[in-house]
């Protein structure tokens, strides 16, 4: 069977100007990056389409194909005669060189050119890295020279909360000491996160426009002065230079799918300590140029769709018309207790138990007033009996449309049923979107609301530090921000090993952090690793470039 990169390479790409013309964009609207990638040079007009959110059950090692389904659904909507533009996140170099896998879909449902998109693409992540690290260099320079901040006092070296970033899996940089050696003082503990964990990434993805980007960058909290007063990026004069580094990165990137659909691939914040969605400007661009904008949120419908709604939609005013919940028979069996090695075999009891997870995610999406369609992403090991069991559960027990989807193997035609169903539901305008909590709710109550309604915890527990931090943020005027719960995506609980639909547990909040620029309060439920390590055998070791200049070993 052909690998993803082989399928991608065999595809015939259209000039990006033709793809753009197909959605009403003129050459003057584009800055080309090669012949198959472009950045939008102009701001898009008003939304004319409806927003389709693709989300999934909790991720598993078996893979669900959420991005693949987002692409397949976009292709299928175009295939059935409706216009659709796709909006996706950009891949990070970390996973590309770490555990095998790009993030551009798979099979016949990929965005192209996959090798370029998975590597440097248009340089957005490099620009974000540079802007983030320029702020870090300005902070350490201010410490070195004991420069006064806007408050009149120097920064307090003991309370710097801005780390550095690199788009790489590099465990040795997680925890470091900087400023060592003569002349480089002050020495202090510091560290690197992966670029997708940068607050600049979250900011770029939530910014409405250039002016909003500037306001958000200026608000970034970097630490405190020697009297304890909070200090921001704006207070040390960093905003303008960061803006200069981000003027191209804020513009959405246009590419195409194998089927030729237009796709905006732009931004990619973590879905734990940030909100996990492509940029607001890319979603808006998709909405401006088609009947449907098909987008996705990170991780499952609990962690990802909740943040999509309560953070991205709250901030931007975007409103999804339909949600598509992606599941696979294999992943349902895994959630129902079947061991990973046995997922190719039928296991009716495990499948049945796994359907309880599916049910909960559907219930959760309905809390936001979004009508749901279930997409079962077919694997070759699936059986007719398994398909029948899942479809029957969805359609008869839950009253939700559900379809077996074969876009991975068949492309657009394989998801035509799903597309008809999604289009009909969107046309019917049944969505009655609502946020899970109002801005005015106290921060701790927001956390409790999400924990109880989405994760079905009995309650939260706040560590003394977390309780103090929430009080501080409220006192400092940030009590109206939404919350961003950073927890394992593999379980409804904070323990990744607890599968299935647990209830009655306590969700422990260890620490709270303020992302004042992005505009949310992060609550850490468990240890969240913001700088992955490479595995013993990194994917990098299997990569190369062949005699024709094609990249090999990237799948």
Verify binding: residue 245, a second copy, rule CB under 8 A. Answer: yes
Query: Considering 408, 473, 478, 492, which one is annotated as catalytic?
Result: 408
Nearest approach, Cβ of 139 to a second copy (angstroms)?
9
Query: What part of residues 113-132 is at the interface with a second copy (CB under 8 A)?
Result: 115, 119-120, 123, 126-127, 129-130
Tokens of 203: 């900011």
In whole angstroms, the minimum distance from the beta carbon of 63 to a second copy comes to: 23
Binding-site sequence positions for ATP: 60-67
Asked about 66 being catalytic, the answer comes back as yes
Selected from 13, 21, 134, 502, the binder of a second copy by CB under 8 A is 134
Nearer Cβ to a second copy (51/96): 96
Whose CA is closest to 531, among 202, 276, 173, 268? 173
Name the strand (E) or helix (H) holding 407: helix 407-410
Q: Which residues are annotated as a binding site?
A: 60-67
Are 373 and 403 a contacting pair, CB within 8 Å? yes
The count of chain residues that interact with a second copy, using the rule CB under 8 A, is 73
In degrees and rounded to multiples of 5, residue 531 shows phi and psi of -140, 100
Q: Is 472 in the site for a second copy (CB under 8 A)?
A: no
Q: Does 24 bind a second copy (CB under 8 A)?
A: no
**Site for a second copy contains 180 (CB under 8 A):** yes
Question: 72: which residues sit within 8 A by CB, 6+ positions away?
Answer: 105, 108, 109, 405, 407, 408, 411, 412, 414, 415, 418
**Which of 138, 338, 374, 516 touches a second copy (CB under 8 A)?**
138
158 binds a second copy (CB under 8 A): no
Determine the distance from the C-alpha atom of residue 400 to the mean position of all C-alpha atoms in its chain, rounded to a whole number: 26
The tokens for 470 are 């929430």
- The yes or no reply on residue 265 touching a second copy (CB under 8 A) is no
Q: Which of 64, 90, 140, 225 contacts a second copy by CB under 8 A? A: 140
Of 299, 390, 381, residue with least CA distance to 350:
390
CB of 40 to a second copy, least distance (A): 12
Q: How far is the CB of 310 from a second copy (least distance, A)?
A: 31
Q: Which is nearer to a second copy, 165 or 394 (CB)?
A: 165
Q: Does 248 bind a second copy (CB under 8 A)?
A: yes
Alpha helices in 298-383 (DSSP H): 306-307, 314-316, 329-335, 348-367
CB of 86 to a second copy, least distance (A): 24
How far is Cα 5 from Cα 350, in angstroms, rounded to an integer? 34
Cross-strand bridge partners of residue 87: 264, 295
Applying the rule CB under 8 A, the residues between 50 and 109 that interact with a second copy are 93, 97
> In this chain, which of 6, 171, 397, 458 binds a second copy, going by CB under 8 A?
171
- Using only the alpha carbons of the chain, give its radius of gyration: 23
State the nearest-atom distance from the C-beta of 445 to a second copy, in Å.
34
Catalytic residue among 39, 50, 82, 89: 89
5, 40, 84, 166: which one contacts a second copy (CB under 8 A)?
A: 166
> Would you count residue 328 as binding a second copy (CB under 8 A)?
no
Judge contact between 523 and 486, C-beta under 8 A.
yes
Q: Which stretch binds a second copy (CB under 8 A): 1-9, 215-223, 408-416, 543-551?
A: 543-551
> Under the criterion CB under 8 A, does residue 156 sit at the interface with a second copy?
no
Residue 141 in the binding site for a second copy (CB under 8 A) = yes
Site for a second copy in 489-528 (CB under 8 A): none
Q: Which single residue is written with the structure tokens 């109002």?
A: 438
Smallest separation, CB 317 to a second copy (Å): 24
Residues 6 or more apart from 497 whose CB is under 8 A from it?
491
Quick check: is 89 catalytic?
Answer: yes
Which residue's entry shows tokens 């400007």? 281
Stretch that binds a second copy, among 30-38, 318-326, 480-488, 503-511 (CB under 8 A): 30-38
Query: Is residue 299 among the annotated active site residues?
Result: yes
16 within 8 A of 35, measured Cβ to Cβ: yes
Q: Does 137 bind a second copy (CB under 8 A)?
A: yes
Nearer to a second copy, 166 or 294 (CB): 166
From candidates 13, 21, 153, 176, binder to a second copy by CB under 8 A: 176
Write down the least CB distance from residue 118 to a second copy, Å.
10
Q: In what order do the strands lie in the sheet with 520-524?
A: 483-486, 520-524, 511-515
Continuous segment of H or E residues that includes residue 136: helix 124-144
Among 9, 48, 174, 420, binds a second copy (CB under 8 A): 174
Per CB under 8 A, 147 contacts a second copy:
yes
Q: How far is CA 345 from CA 60, 378, 385, in A?
A: 17, 14, 12
The question of whether 271 is a catalytic residue gets the answer yes
Residues of this chain, 207-236, that bind a second copy according to CB under 8 A? 210, 214
Q: What would the two tokens of residue 478 be?
A: 């940030």
The CA distance from 220 to 516, in Å, is: 5
Which of 304, 209, 259, 210 shows the shortest CA–CA distance to 85?
Answer: 259
Hey, is 259 helix, strand or coil?
coil
When asked if residue 238 is in the footprint of a second copy (CB under 8 A), the reply is: yes
Q: What angle do CA 152, 153, 156 make, to 5 degrees?
A: 150
Please name which of 48, 47, 72, 69 lies closest in space to residue 57, comparing C-alpha atoms: 69
The yes or no reply on residue 534 touching a second copy (CB under 8 A) is yes
List the catalytic residues. 66, 68, 89, 100, 271, 299, 379, 408
């Amino acid at each position: 069977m052909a690998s993803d990169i082989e399928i991608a390479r065999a595809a015939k790409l259209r000039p990006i100007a033709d793809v753009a013309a197909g959605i009403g964009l003129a050459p003057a609207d584009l800055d080309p990056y090669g012949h198959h990638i472009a950045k939008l040079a102009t701001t898009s007009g008003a939304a004319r389409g409806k927003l389709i959110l693709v989300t999934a059950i909790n991720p598993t090692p078996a893979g669900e194909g959420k991005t693949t389904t987002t692409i397949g659904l976009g292709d299928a909507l175009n295939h059935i005669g409706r216009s659709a533009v796709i909006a996706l996140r950009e891949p990070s170099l970390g996973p590309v060189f770490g555990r095998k896998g790009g993030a551009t879909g798979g099979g016949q449902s990929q965005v192209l050119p996959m090798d370029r998109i998975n590597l440097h693409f248009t340089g957005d992540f490099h620009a974000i890295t540079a802007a983030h690290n320029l702020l870090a260099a300005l902070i350490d320079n201010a410490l070195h020279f004991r420069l006064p901040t806007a408050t009149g006092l120097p920064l307090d070296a003991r309370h710097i909360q801005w780390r550095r970033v690199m788009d790489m899996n590099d465990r040795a940089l997680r925890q470091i000491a900087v400023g060592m050696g003569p002349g480089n003082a002050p020495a202090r503990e510091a560290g690197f996160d992966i670029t997708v964990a940068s607050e600049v990434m979250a900011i770029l993805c939530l910014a409405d426009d250039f002016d909003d980007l500037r306001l958000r960058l200026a608000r970034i909290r970097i630490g405190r002065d020697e009297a304890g007063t909070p200090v921001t990026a704006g207070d040390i004069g960093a905003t303008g230079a960061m803006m200069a580094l981000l003027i191209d990165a804020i513009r959405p990137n246009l590419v195409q799918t194998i089927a030729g659909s237009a796709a905006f691939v732009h931004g990619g914040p973590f879905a734990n300590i940030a909100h996990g969605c492509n940029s607001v400007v890319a979603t808006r661009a998709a909405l401006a140029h088609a009947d449907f904008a098909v987008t996705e949120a990170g991780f499952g419908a609990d962690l990802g769709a909740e943040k999509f709604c309560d953070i991205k939609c709250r901030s931007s005013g975007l409103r999804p018309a339909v949600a598509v919940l992606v599941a696979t028979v294999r992943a349902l069996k895994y959630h129902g207790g079947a061991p990973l090695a046995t997922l190719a075999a039928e296991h009716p009891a495990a499948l049945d138990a796994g359907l309880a997870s599916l049910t909960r995610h559907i219930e959760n999406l309905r809390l936001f007033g979004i009508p749901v369609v279930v997409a079962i992403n077919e694997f070759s090991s699936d059986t007719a009996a398994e398909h029948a069991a899942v479809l029957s559960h969805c359609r008869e027990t839950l009253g939700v449309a559900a379809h077996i989807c074969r876009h991975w193997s068949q492309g657009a035609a394989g998801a035509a049923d799903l597309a008809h169903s999604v289009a009909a539901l969107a046309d019917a305008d049944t969505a009655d979107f609502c946020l899970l909590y109002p801005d005015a709710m106290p921060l701790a109550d927001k956390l409790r609301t999400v924990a109880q309604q989405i994760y079905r915890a009995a309650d939260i527990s706040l560590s003394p530090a977390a309780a103090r931090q929430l009080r501080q943020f409220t006192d400092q005027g940030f009590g109206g921000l939404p919350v961003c719960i950073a927890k394992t995506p593999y379980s409804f609980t904070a323990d990744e090993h607890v599968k299935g639909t647990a209830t009655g547990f306590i969700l422990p909040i260890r620490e709270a952090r303020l992302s004042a620029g992005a505009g949310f309060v992060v609550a850490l439920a468990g240890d969240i690793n913001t700088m992955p390590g490479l595995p013993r055998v990194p994917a990098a070791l299997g990569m190369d470039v062949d005699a024709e200049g094609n990249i090999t070993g990237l799948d």
